[in-house]
Structure 1
Amino acid sequence: MQRYESYKPTTIEWASKIPADWRVQPIRALFKERKEKNKGPKTDFILSVMKDIGIIPYDEKGNIGNKKSENIENYKVVYPGDLVVNKMNAIIGSLGISRFHGALSQVYFVLYPKDLSRTNHKYLGYLFKVRPFQQSLIKISKGMMELRESIEFDEFKKLVLPVPPRDEQDRIVAFLDQKTAEIDAAIMKKERLIELLNEQRSIQTNRAVTLGLDRAAPLRNGESEWIESVPEHWEIVPLKHISTVQSGVTLGKNFVLSKSTKSYPYLRVANVQDGYINLSTVTEIILPIREAKNYLLRAGNILVTEGGDIDKLGRGNCWDGQIEECLHQNHVFAVRILKRVRPEFVALITGVSYARRYFTTTANKTTNLASTNKTKLGNLPVLVPPLSEQDAILDFCNKSKTKYAKIIDSVAKEISALKDMKSSLIAEAVAGRIRV
Structure 2
Amino acid sequence: MINAAYPKYESYRDSGVEWVGAIPASWNVRRGKWLFKKMDRSVRPEDEIVTCFRDGVVTLRVKRRTEGFTNALKEHGYQGIRKGDLVIHAMDAFAGAVGVSDSDGKSTPVYSACVPRVEGTVNPHFYAYYMRHIALSGLLVAMAKGIRERSTDFRFGDFADLALAAPPIEEQTAIVAFLDGKCAAIDEAVRIKEEQIRLLAERRQILIQQAVTRGLNPDAPMKDSGIDWIGQIPAHWEVKKVKHFGRNRSGDGITNSQLEDDGTYEVWGGNGLMGYSDQYNVDGDYIVIGRVGAYCGNIRLAQGKRWISDNALILRISGRVSSRYLARVLQAADLNRLNESNAQPLITGGKVSNLSVPYPPLDEQNSIVAHIASGFDKIANAIVIKQSQITALREYKTSLINAAVTGKIKVL
Match for 1:81: what amino acid? Answer: G
1:92–1:134: 8 Å Cα contact kept in structure 2? no
- Cα shift at 1:149: 5.3
1:140–1:151: 8 Å Cα contact kept in structure 2? no
Query: Matched residues, percent identical?
Result: 30
2:322–2:365: 8 Å Cα contact kept in structure 1? yes
Distance 1:111-1:198 versus aligned 2 partners, 3 A rule: same
Q: Describe the superposition over 1:289-339 as per-residue Cα deviations: whole angstroms up to 9, x where unpaired.
A: 8xx56xx23353211111323xx2211011244xxx531221111211113
Q: Describe the superposition over 1:98-123 as per-residue Cα deviations: whole angstroms up to 9, x where unpaired.
A: 22333444554443433341111221
2:35 pairs with 25, 30, 33, which one? 30
- Cα shift at 1:131: 5.8
1:97–1:122: 8 Å Cα contact kept in structure 2? yes
1:84–1:98: 8 Å Cα contact kept in structure 2? yes
Q: Describe the superposition over 1:36-93 as per-residue Cα deviations: whole angstroms up to 9, x where unpaired.
A: 46575x433x4444433533554566698x4241637345543222233344433332
Q: Describe the superposition over 1:358-381 as per-residue Cα deviations: whole angstroms up to 9, x where unpaired.
A: 533543122xx4221222222222
1:305 pairs with 275, 283, 290, which one? 290
1:26–1:159: 8 Å Cα contact kept in structure 2? yes
Name 2:102's counterpart in structure 1: 99
Matched, 1:348 2:328: yes
Q: Describe the superposition over 1:171-219 as per-residue Cα deviations: whole angstroms up to 9, x where unpaired.
A: 1112222222222232223222222322223222221122111111222
Give unpaired runs (5+ residues) of structure 2: 1-5
Name 1:233's counterpart in structure 2: 236
Name 2:368's counterpart in structure 1: 393
- Cα shift at 1:24: 1.3
1:238–1:381: 8 Å Cα contact kept in structure 2? yes
Segment of structure 1 superposing worse, 67-76 or 15-24: 67-76
Matched, 1:195 2:204: no
Name 2:210's counterpart in structure 1: 207
Superposed, which structure 2 residues align to 1:367-378 within 5 Å? 369-378=344-353
Matched, 1:69 2:71: yes
Segment of structure 1 superposing worse, 205-214 or 47-56: 47-56
Name 1:244's counterpart in structure 2: 247
Describe the SS at the equivalent of 2:247: strand
Segment of structure 1 superposing worse, 211-220 or 72-81: 72-81
Q: Distance in 2 between matches of 1:63 and 1:391?
A: 47
Name 1:179's counterpart in structure 2: 182
1:14–1:132: 8 Å Cα contact kept in structure 2? no
Distance 1:38-1:335 versus aligned 2 partners, 3 A rule: farther
How many residues are matched?
398
* TM-score of the two chains, using structure 2 as the length reference: 0.85
Segment of structure 1 superposing worse, 160-169 or 410-419: 410-419
Name 1:314's counterpart in structure 2: 297
1:91–1:134: 8 Å Cα contact kept in structure 2? no
Q: Distance in 1 between matches of 2:108 and 2:352?
A: 41
Match for 1:101: what amino acid? Answer: D
Superposed, which structure 2 residues align to 1:36-75 within 5 Å? 36=41, 38=43, 40=45, 42-44=46-48, 46-52=49-55, 54-58=57-61, 66-69=68-71, 71=73, 73-74=75-76, 75=78
Match for 1:4: what amino acid? Answer: Y
Segment of structure 1 superposing worse, 393-402 or 184-193: 184-193
Q: Distance in 2 between matches of 1:56 and 1:318?
A: 44
Match for 1:314: what amino acid? Answer: G
Distance 1:2-1:362 versus aligned 2 partners, 3 A rule: closer
1:140–1:156: 8 Å Cα contact kept in structure 2? no
Q: Distance in 1 between matches of 2:316 and 2:264?
A: 24
2:223–2:233: 8 Å Cα contact kept in structure 1? yes
2:275 pairs with 275, 280, 283, which one? 283
Q: Distance in 2 between matches of 1:377 and 1:103?
A: 49
Match for 2:385: what amino acid? Answer: S
2:144–2:154: 8 Å Cα contact kept in structure 1? yes
Name 1:259's counterpart in structure 2: none
1:16 pairs with 13, 21, 33, which one? 21
1:90–1:134: 8 Å Cα contact kept in structure 2? no
Q: Distance in 1 between matches of 2:380 and 2:356?
A: 29
Q: Distance in 2 between matches of 1:229 and 1:411?
A: 35
1:364 pairs with 321, 326, 341, which one? 341
Name 1:120's counterpart in structure 2: 123
Name 2:93's counterpart in structure 1: 90
Q: Distance in 2 between matches of 1:106 and 1:297?
A: 53
2:96–2:136: 8 Å Cα contact kept in structure 1? no
Q: Distance in 2 between matches of 1:243 and 1:11?
A: 74
Describe the SS at the equivalent of 2:345: strand
Distance 1:128-1:381 versus aligned 2 partners, 3 A rule: farther
Q: Describe the superposition over 1:337-362 as per-residue Cα deviations: whole angstroms up to 9, x where unpaired.
A: 1132222222222322xx22x53354
Q: Describe the superposition over 1:238-259 as per-residue Cα deviations: whole angstroms up to 9, x where unpaired.
A: 2223212131223569x9xxxx
* TM-score of the two chains, using structure 1 as the length reference: 0.80
Superposed, which structure 2 residues align to 1:146-157 within 5 Å? 150-153=152-155, 154-157=157-160
Describe the SS at the equivalent of 2:75: coil
Q: Distance in 1 between matches of 2:81 and 2:93?
A: 17
Name 1:268's counterpart in structure 2: 269
Describe the SS at the equivalent of 1:161: strand
1:91–1:138: 8 Å Cα contact kept in structure 2? yes
1:39–1:73: 8 Å Cα contact kept in structure 2? no
Matched, 1:338 2:341: no
Distance 1:235-1:28 versus aligned 2 partners, 3 A rule: farther
Q: Distance in 2 between matches of 1:317 and 1:60?
A: 37
